[in-house]
Amino acid sequence: MFDLIVKGGTLPDGTVADIGIKGDRIAEVGRIEAEAGTVIDATGDLVSPPFVDPHFHMDAVLSYGLPRVNASGTLLEGISLWGELRAQASVDEMVARALRYCDWAVSMGLLAIRTHVDTTPDHLRGVEAMLQVQRTVAPYLDLQLVAFPQDGLYRSPTGRQNLLRALDMGVGVVGGIPHFERTMEEGADSLRDLARIAAERGLMWDVHCDETDDPMSRHVETMAREVTRHGLGARAAGSHLTSMHSMDNYYVSKLIPLIAESGMTAIPNPLINITLQGRHDSYPKRRGLTRVRELQAAGVTVGWGQDCVLDPWYSLGTADMLDVAFMGLHVAQMTHPEEMARCFRMVTQDNARIMGLHDYGLMPGSLASLVVLDAGTPVEALRLRPDRLAVVSKGQIVAQKQRNDTRLALPGRPEQVRRRHDGTRA
Ligand SMILES: [Zn+2]
């Protein structure tokens, strides 16, 4: 007897299986004849472990247009708009926006998010708000918080002190922004300092690193060195790494092996990188996405992050990690069937590895968290970015949606149309 059985779904590797759930754990995967309190019929549908977003800014989410829109579309105008907004925003306001966004995330099967929290202002209201949100959503959504010195660890007079205060308050990941410090040297110093803080406190480390078109922004080199020195390995992630797009190929041929040697992971954010980078170019205009395929070929775990939804840096966004992967596969030209399937894994299991999630996946003993999609395969899910028919978090059904086919009124044509093309459903 199970509490919940998800029947007949197709797993991302193509296996057709029932999933039997007891309490908050997956008890069995295979052909299940037993009874259950509740059954979800997933025949012909894709059943995946939940989506994971390893890079987000939840303190700014859903603030688009406050105090006004970003007219230049640049990273720097976004940072300055955010500076005005964070001076005014109350804890309650930030909590309300974040919880609203978490509802969207759950509806899309996005059940784990790492969010950077700006630790620049002395009032630390963003930290207070996000810790409150983390506690509220904990029963159904894993929220990791990164202490992020948005205005620089050293460039902001109280930057270092406030980052440490945030960690003392319970923020669990150390951040960084070396390319925003005053000089290359201070950027490199900040990385040495932050790596030591992460190592001494036994925390993970995730740095906004080289989010610039400047090919000479080479902080990832220092970061990889510090990751190796302190043995942080996959507990460290380099976010963005956009300068690598513009770097000299010879230099990159030395750099990528150093990144791989360190064991650190990489998080490009394609929706944002394609939007913010290249703004100073005429033509040709650079894409500003880091070298995803080359990093993967060297054995580096690379995930796709969402970064922003409706905030000073990005005017769109849906909480759908398939939108993120869809943009990523286009910009990185990952169009081979195996590469597309990899893009799906990037927003599920690779992102889970980056966040260090335990008990993730569709195996007996794993946490019973999954999503049923109106698609037959991972590649079809990327093509359609379809409805999430059911979302289960830790054994509980937390979201459901009716299948909703379009009715046609065309002479001699079928009455209904669904754009699936995987052979399992018309
Ligand atoms: Zn970011």
Rounded Cα–Cα distance for residues 416 and 426 (Å): 9
Q: Token pair of 366, please?
A: 């794993």
DSSP one-letter code for 218 = -
User: What is the reported pLDDT for 341?
Assistant: 97
> Within 10 Å of residue 371's Cβ, how many Cβ atoms?
25
Rounded Cα–Cα distance for residues 5 and 22 (Å): 9
Q: What mean pLDDT comes out for the span 40-48? A: 97
Catalytic residue among 181, 211, 226, 380: 211
Q: What mean pLDDT comes out for the span 13-24? A: 98
In the chain, pLDDT over 70 holds for what percent of residues?
99
Q: What mean pLDDT comes out for the span 144-167? A: 98
User: What is the reported pLDDT for 404?
Assistant: 86
pLDDT of 5 higher than 70: yes
pLDDT of 109 higher than 60: yes
User: What is the reported pLDDT for 24?
Assistant: 98
Please identify which residue in the block is written with the tokens 């065309």. Answer: 410
Q: What mean pLDDT comes out for the span 378-401? A: 98
How sure is the predictor about 425, in pLDDT bands with cuts at 50, 70 and 90?
Answer: very low
User: What is the reported pLDDT for 233?
Assistant: 98
Residue 140 Cα to ligand 1 midpoint, Å, equals 24
Q: What mean pLDDT comes out for the span 16-21? A: 98
User: What is the reported pLDDT for 76?
Assistant: 87
User: What is the reported pLDDT for 95?
Assistant: 98
Question: Annotated catalytic, 261?
Answer: no
Q: What mean pLDDT comes out for the span 137-155? A: 98
Residue 276 Cα to ligand 1 midpoint, Å, equals 12
Rounded Cα–Cα distance for residues 199 and 188 (Å): 17
Residue 23 Cα to ligand 1 midpoint, Å, equals 36
How sure is the predictor about 217, in pLDDT bands with cuts at 50, 70 and 90?
Answer: very high
pLDDT of 426 higher than 50: no
Q: What mean pLDDT comes out for the span 283-307? A: 97
User: What is the reported pLDDT for 293?
Assistant: 97
How sure is the predictor about 423, in pLDDT bands with cuts at 50, 70 and 90?
Answer: low
Q: What mean pLDDT comes out for the span 97-109? A: 98
User: What is the reported pLDDT for 75?
Assistant: 85
Q: Are strands 396-400 and 16-22 parallel, antiparallel or unpaired?
A: unpaired
Task: For the chain, report the end-to-end CA distance as a whole number of angstroms.
Answer: 34
Q: What is the mean pLDDT of the chain?
A: 96
Q: What mean pLDDT comes out for the span 78-97? A: 94
Residue 101 Cα to ligand 1 midpoint, Å, equals 17
- Which residues lie across from 370 on neighbouring strands? 392
